[in-house]
């Protein structure tokens, strides 16, 4: 719990320290993606199915998921990926040799597409299991338990997908190799990653609800868009973008923490090996 709280505090510190950079680069880049996600999810009047936000329980309509990804894919491959690349570039461990955003674009796109294919496979599998066993006709408690299991599986997939994008930008890998490394990172910081995902997801839910209430509801009541409605929608999209930036920063810090712990473990093993060798040499002498 302490490590998760420390990562959150450090993420907020990093965001506020370079706030002028993040608000003028990644946040602006993310605005088209954020606006498209908020508009689609509000207008479709369904629960969110995008991996960055909340996951519905046993209510994943496959055609709806496919349509959502088709709509959001152009914005994700341009707005989202470029914004994440700029964040990773700014937080790269070798400050004197920061990679160019253009060099990070291809591995991030490849990894994002792999994340998408795996997430869709999970959605197909969940729908298949639901139809086979008729979960919707079971008792409410059974449906709730099955929903919790599905939620945990998809939440873990979401965490690994977000970490994989960061790993693809920070390490020399992409696609399924980056996903495998992200899985290793999550295994090394399992509880911390889950604790970090909870407030982030709650933040996305709150912002979506705010957009639904302040923009979509106001539009349905007045049947026309006015200047104040557009400004509010723009400000809420900025809030959504800032939360994506904060989530990406947190993922970068998790990956750095994992790599630092791994280096320290290797150093300790090497010291023990050398000490053992010296002890054996002393015994021989």
Token pair for residue 24?
């003028």
pLDDT of 53 reads 39
Q: How far apart are the C-alpha atoms of 167 and 243, rounded to whole Å?
A: 19
Token pair for residue 15?
């965001």
Per-residue CA distances from 41 to 65, 94, 157, 169 (Å) = 11, 39, 20, 29
Q: Write down the pTM of the prediction.
A: 0.80
pLDDT of 241 reads 93
What count of residues does the chain have? 285
* Domain residue ranges of the chain, discontinuous segments joined by +: 1-258
Q: pLDDT, tens digit, for every residue of 36-86?
A: 888 887 665 444 434 433 434 445 555 666 667 777 888 888 899 999 999
Q: pLDDT, tens digit, for every residue of 189-204?
A: 666 777 777 888 888 8
87 close to 249: Cβ distance less than 8 angstroms: yes
Q: Report the share of the chain in percent with pLDDT over 70.
A: 70
């Amino acid at each position: 719990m302490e490590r998760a709280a420390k990562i959150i505090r450090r993420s907020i510190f990093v965001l506020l320290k370079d706030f002028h950079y993040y608000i003028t680069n990644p946040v602006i880049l993310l605005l088209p993606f954020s606006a498209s996600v908020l508009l689609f999810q509000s207008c479709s009047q369904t629960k969110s199915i995008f991996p960055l936000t909340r996951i519905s329980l046993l209510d994943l309509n496959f055609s709806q998921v496919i349509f959502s990804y088709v709509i959001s894919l152009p914005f994700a491959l341009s707005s989202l990926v470029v914004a994440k690349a700029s964040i990773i570039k700014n937080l790269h461990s070798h400050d004197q040799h920061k990679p160019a955003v253009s060099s990070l674009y291809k591995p991030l796109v490849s990894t994002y597409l792999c994340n998408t294919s795996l997430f869709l496979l999970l959605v197909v599998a969940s729908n298949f299991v639901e139809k086979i066993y008729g979960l919707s006709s079971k008792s409410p408690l059974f449906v709730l338990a099955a929903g919790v299991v599905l939620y945990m599986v998809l939440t873990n997939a979401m965490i690994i997908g977000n970490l994989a994008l960061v790993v693809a930008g920070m390490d020399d890998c992409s696609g399924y190799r980056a996903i495998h490394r992200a899985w290793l990172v999550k295994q090394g910081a399992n509880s911390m990653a889950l604790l970090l995902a909870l407030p982030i997801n709650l933040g996305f839910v709150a912002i979506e609800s705010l957009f639904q209430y302040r923009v979509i509801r106001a539009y349905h009541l007045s049947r026309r868009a006015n200047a104040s409605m557009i400004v509010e929608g723009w400000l809420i999209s900025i809030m959504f973008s800032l939360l994506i930036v904060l989530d990406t920063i947190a993922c970068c810090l998790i990956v750095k923490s994992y790599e630092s712990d791994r280096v320290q473990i290797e150093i300790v093993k090497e010291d023990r090996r050398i000490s053992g060798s010296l002890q054996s040499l002393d015994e021989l002498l």
